[in-house]
Amino acid sequence: MADSPELRKRLKNRGYGRADVDDRRAAVEEFSGARLEHVAAYSFDPEGASRNVENMIGATQIPLGFAGPVRIRGDHAEGDFIIPLATTEGALLASISRGMSVITEAGGAHTKIYMDTMTRAPVFRVDGIDHATEVMAWISENADTLGEAVSKTTSHGRLLDIEPYPNGRNLYLRFVFDTGDAMGMNMATIATEAACGIIEERTGAKLVSVSGNMCTDKKPAAINILKGRGKTVLAEARIPASVVEGRLHTTTAAVVETNYRKNLMGSAMAVSLGSNAHAANMVAALFLATGQDPAQVIGGSMTLTSCEDVDGDLYICVRMPNVEVGTVGGGTRLPCQSEALSVLGCLGTGKARKFAEIVAATVLAGELSTLGAQSAGHLGKAHEALGR
């Protein structure tokens, strides 16, 4: 393996012009012995990615397709939508498209957002439970002071609440923010640090970490299922029995039983923090296409899918308590991802809630199609036919 001070200097070059990227990629090729011909082929100015990646050497391409159209009747998303999805899993988009066509034939998916907040939960070291009680009282009495400190760090974010969780010499404070159209994790972190500085100064509590894991960020957690993080979104549809039989080749009773025994009972047996067929699949493909934080797919995995027989028709609903998305900032700035958001009419300010409803409708379609295939015994055949 080649190595030299000059090679290491080239590898660590932090420039973002195309020449810098080319030089860094050549150094990686020299160091590793690999040839990066396809990584070198990309269409955007590397300078535009300077806030998204360090040590850029090129770009990884993921196949991009679309599903739909799907009809959505939401508070923020209204109409028929084509959904861009990036994935390497064959059969996924075909399955989602089938679910979308069934939902559209049945009148569309109804969507609604019930909560929209971002959290950050620092942990403080205190002297004991009396000190924790004193700190909590000070915070309650000085909410305006902490809110002003937050407002100085952002023009878009707003502090809504601080939830205290004392435990011995530990005090966890779950800060709850409104972050507008940004996903808001960085915004919440910066704002929380500013407030924590004041808490330390005025109370004697010692900040140990700005994240004490009660946020909870990028990990499955019951607190996020119960209290929500990001946007809590529901999507529902009622599929007539004739459509279930004609399009999904199964029955309402069979889908309901499959959902009960698989998604509800099976997930309970496994003590899974999420009761669904494969919600993270749809979330991952849509997040990759639109520049969302891929690590937040974990929130999609905590979806609850429910099915009922309503006078012979199939009622299906997904509850997503942890949809962390934005339509400004982060990866949404990148050109391919911006184009995908534009397809949805969700690029820029004022569009984050619309996008969250589209996420839920997409998950609903994927769940419907997969439950239909499993209840009909067609899942393996579909994957086999599509090269899986």
Active site residues per annotation: 89, 293, 383
Joined together, the tokens standing for residue 50 give 């300077």
Of 288, 283, 297, give the one whose Cα is nearest residue 366. 283
Of 115, 44, 35, 9, give the one whose Cα is nearest residue 336. 44
91 CB-near residues (< 8 Å, 6+ apart): 382, 383, 385, 386, 387, 388
Joined together, the tokens standing for residue 210 give 């700005």
366 to 194, 371, 386: CA distances (angstroms):
42, 9, 16
Please report where in the chains the tokens 């420039």 appear, as a residue: 15
Residue 152: CB atoms within 10 A of its CB come to 9
CB 109 within 8 A of CB 365: yes
State the Cα torsion 339-342-346-348 to the nearest 10°.
70
Joined together, the tokens standing for residue 370 give 């997969």
Of 292, 295, 288, give the one whose Cα is nearest residue 330. 292
CB 327 within 8 A of CB 355: yes
Amino acid at 388: R
334 to 59, 72, 241, 350, 351: CA distances (angstroms):
11, 27, 44, 19, 17
Name the DSSP class of 248: S
Q: What is the C-alpha separation between 204 and 208, in angstroms, rounded?
A: 12
